Amino acid sequence: MKRYGWLLSWWWCGTLAFAGNLPADTIFTTYDRGTFTTHCEVAVDAPEAVTAAVMNDFMRQYRSQLDSLFAWGLKDMGLRGEGDELIVYNLKRSAYDPATDLTTGWLDVGVPGLLTLRDIEVVGHMYLADSVPPGETVVQYDILRATGFIKEADATLRVVHTDQEHARCTLDMRVRFGWFFNLFVSKKVYRKNLEWRFMQLADNLREEATRRSAPSTPPE
118-158 pLDDT tens trace = 999 999 999 999 988 988 999 999 999 999 899 999 999 99
Count how many domains the chain has. Answer: 1
Residue 204: its H or E element = helix 196-213
Domain-embedded: residue 25: yes
Banded model confidence at residue 84, pLDDT cuts 50, 70, 90: confident
Query: Residue 131's pLDDT is what?
Result: 87
Domain-embedded: residue 219: no
Higher pLDDT, 218 or 19: 218
Q: Give the domain range for residue 11.
A: 2-213
Q: How many helices (H) and strands (E) does the chain have?
A: 6, 8
Domain-embedded: residue 220: no
Domain-embedded: residue 180: yes
Domain-embedded: residue 218: no
Q: What CATH number does the domain containing 116 carry?
A: 3.30.530.20
Collect all residues with Cβ–Cβ distance below 8 Å to 116 and sequence separation of at least 6: 88, 108, 109, 110
Domain-embedded: residue 175: yes
Query: Residue 109's pLDDT is what?
Result: 95
Domain-embedded: residue 113: yes
Domain-embedded: residue 66: yes
Q: Which of 176, 173, 157, 134 is nearest to 73 (CA)?
A: 157
